[in-house]
Amino acid sequence: MSPNEVFWKQLHEYLEAYGVTMVVVTISSGLLIGYFLHYIMNVRPLKLKLKMEKLDESAGEDELKRNTFVFI
């Protein structure tokens, strides 16, 4: 039996045993948990990194302006 056939056989068994609602809730909750973890693990650290780089860049520009003002 091919993996594709096994998948559909198991899906039909689950649908008969638990109903469509349970399968839909299970898939939806899996997607929701996956999206939430993706946001926590990838998006938040990237936003924080970009914010810190922006602050460092603006601090560097302020320091450069102060240094040029002293030399003028």
Q: pLDDT higher for 28 or 61?
A: 28
Contacts of 4 (CB under 8 A, 6+ apart): none
Cα–Cα distance for residue pair 61/68, rounded to 1 Å = 11
pTM value? 0.60
Q: How does pLDDT run across 11-38, given as a tens digit for each residue?
A: 999 999 999 999 999 999 999 999 999 9
**Amino acid identity, residue 4?**
N
